[in-house]
Amino acid sequence: MTNEMTRLIQRLNGGAGITTNSQYASLQAKLLTATKQPTDDLNDTEFTITTPTYCALLQITSSFTTPPQFLQCKPPWANKLYSPTGSLTFCKAGCLVCSTAAQAADAGYDVDPATFARAIANKGAFTGNYLQHPTAITRAFPRLLWHRANDPTFWSPRYKRKETSLIHWREQPADLELLQALLGKQHVVLEVDYDPQDNDVDQHFVLAYEYIPDPAGGLNDDLRIMDPMAGYTSILSYFNPHWLNDWMRRNKITKVMRTITGARVWEIVE
Ligand SMILES: [Ca+2]
Ligand SMILES: [Ca+2]
């Protein structure tokens, strides 16, 4: 980021730098308003923004608030195998690869699902069809840091422990506080049950980018996701309405908490 961009961010943001998702969203809104009224907000005697800087900033804010849409069933990768030792295509089972590729693109790497899969395969990510070795992603893309069992990092206020990068929320509700803290810094790969009508977890992965609390303070929250199957959508497409029972109301378990069954957190580092 150039000095001009940094100064502009501080100016629009009342003197402070910005780090969180919602701050980027708010900056984006200000930039979009400023296009309509270029003399009001961005240009004055002490500061004039140039067009390239304006465009660059808008691109940064947009890419931060919404990850790229990497659809697993989209050509040219749809019918290719994602693992050189596997038998399944992107379209059939590439949701984790596509979600993580979108996160890598967000972190500044120039990848699409196919080039991403090739790069992590070269570092030994796959055993057969499974992305069994998540640290191989860190070896291929060092800014995506995976924390193993010997290095628990993410504080979970709900369960009062530090989580590793592999978080299980199948037997218990998701820790919303932890998720929101993570989403303040980056997008997060989440596990859901793609067939919520039956009792087992039919594993599917999506990339979450924005949490929306229930305005009334109830259980009707929402979470925006990039779903490699469906595109930009709500995580509640995986919520089974029959789950909403007294147990959820009594324990204040929101719909989002009930829907997420796990997380895979590659921490984005500088
Ligand atoms: Ca199921
Ligand atoms: Ca099933």
Q: Tell me: the pLDDT tens digits for 62-95?
A: 555 789 999 999 999 999 999 999 999 999 999 9
Percent of the chain whose pLDDT exceeds 70 = 76
Give the single-character DSSP code of 158: T
What is the CA(23)–ligand 1 centre distance, in A? 36
Task: List, for residues 146-176, the tens digit of each pLDDT value.
Answer: 999 999 999 999 999 999 999 999 999 999 9
Quick one: average pLDDT of 125-130?
A: 97
Q: With 70 as the cut, is the pLDDT of residue 130 above it?
A: yes
Query: In this structure, which residues have their CB less than 5 angstroms from ion ligand 1?
Result: 193, 195, 198, 202
Rounded distance between C-alpha atoms, residue 74 and residue 141, angstroms: 24
Cβ atoms within 10 Å of 11's Cβ, excluding its own: 15
Distance 205 CA to ligand 2 centre (A): 15
> What gap in Å lies between CA 194 and CA 239, rounded to an integer?
9
Give residue 241 CA to ligand 1 midpoint distance, Å: 14
Q: Output the pTM of the full model.
A: 0.80
What's the 56 CA to ligand 2 centre distance in angstroms? 45
Task: Quickly state the pLDDT bin for 140 (edges 50, 70, 90).
Answer: very high
Taking the centre of ligand 1 as the mean of its atom positions, its distance from the CA of residue 220, in whole angstroms, is: 21
Secondary structure class of 127 (helix, strand, coil): strand
Report the C-alpha gap between 94 and 151 in whole angstroms: 28
The DSSP letter of residue 89 is B
Which has the higher per-residue pLDDT, 32 or 103?
Answer: 103
In this model, does residue 30 exceed pLDDT 80? no
